[in-house]
Amino acid sequence: MKKLKKRLDYLDGNKFNPQLEYYELEYLVNPSNLEKKIENTQVRNLVKNLTDLAYPSSWDEYSKQWFDFYLPLKRRGCLISLSFKVVEYQKEFFVNFQGLGNLHIRNGKEKVEKQYKTIFREALRFIPLIKRTKNVILEGTIPYDIRTGKIKGKYILEKLMPEREKEEILLNYGIHLKKRLKISQISLKRYLNVAAICYKAAFRERTRNLSSLEMYKKWADGRDGGMLSIKDWESTQAFKNWQGSGEWEGSHPFEIVFSWHGHGIHLFPPNTYSHHHWLRITNYAYAENFIRIVRALIKKGVPFQAKDLKDVLDYLTGETYFTVNDYSEHCFYYIPKEHKELYFRHIKWDEIKVPKWINKRERSKNSD
Q: Are residues 177 and 84 in the same domain?
A: no
Q: Are residues 130 and 277 in the same domain?
A: no
Query: How far, in Å, CA of 168 to CA of 303, rounded?
Result: 19
Residues in the chain, pLDDT under 50: 1-13, 368
Q: Are residues 89 and 178 in the same domain?
A: no
Q: Are residues 51 and 177 in the same domain?
A: no
CA nearest neighbour of 186 among 246, 254, 275: 275
List Cβ<8 Å contacts ≥24 apart for 75-79. Answer: 75/21, 75/22, 75/143, 77/6, 78/3, 78/4, 78/5, 78/6, 78/8, 78/141, 79/4, 79/8, 79/10, 79/16, 79/18, 79/141
Q: Which pLDDT tens digit goes with each residue over 313-344?
A: 999 999 999 999 998 899 999 999 899 999 99
Query: How far, in Å, CA of 84 to CA of 4, rounded?
Result: 22
Please give the pLDDT value at position 166.
98
- Number of separate domains in the chain: 2
Report if residue 103 sits inside a domain.
yes
The torsion of the CA quartet 270, 273, 276, 279, rounded to 10 degrees, works out to -80
Please give the pLDDT value at position 7.
38
| Helix residue ranges per DSSP H, the chain | 22-29, 41-51, 115-132, 136-139, 163-178, 188-203, 212-219, 236-245, 287-300, 309-316, 336-343, 360-367
Q: Are residues 244 and 110 in the same domain?
A: no
Q: Are residues 225 and 304 in the same domain?
A: yes
Report if residue 105 sits inside a domain.
yes
Q: Which pLDDT tens digit goes with each residue over 137-186?
A: 999 999 999 999 999 999 999 999 999 999 999 999 999 999 999 998 89
Query: How far, in Å, CA of 163 to CA of 264, rounded?
Result: 25
Query: CA distances (Å), 150 to each of 38, 287, 330, 354, in order?
Result: 34, 21, 10, 19
Report if residue 272 sits inside a domain.
yes
Q: Are residues 178 and 307 in the same domain?
A: yes
Q: What pTM was computed for the model?
A: 0.84
Query: How far, in Å, CA of 83 to CA of 69, rounded?
Result: 6
Mean pLDDT rounded to a whole number for the chain: 92
Please give the pLDDT value at position 367.
55
Report if residue 29 sits inside a domain.
yes
Please give the pLDDT value at position 54.
97
Please give the pLDDT value at position 360.
73
Q: Are residues 177 and 91 in the same domain?
A: no
Q: Are residues 115 and 186 in the same domain?
A: no
Q: Are residues 123 and 200 in the same domain?
A: no
Q: Are residues 290 and 193 in the same domain?
A: yes
Query: How far, in Å, CA of 167 to CA of 160, rounded?
Result: 14
Range of the domain at 118: 22-142+352-367
Q: Are residues 170 and 135 in the same domain?
A: no
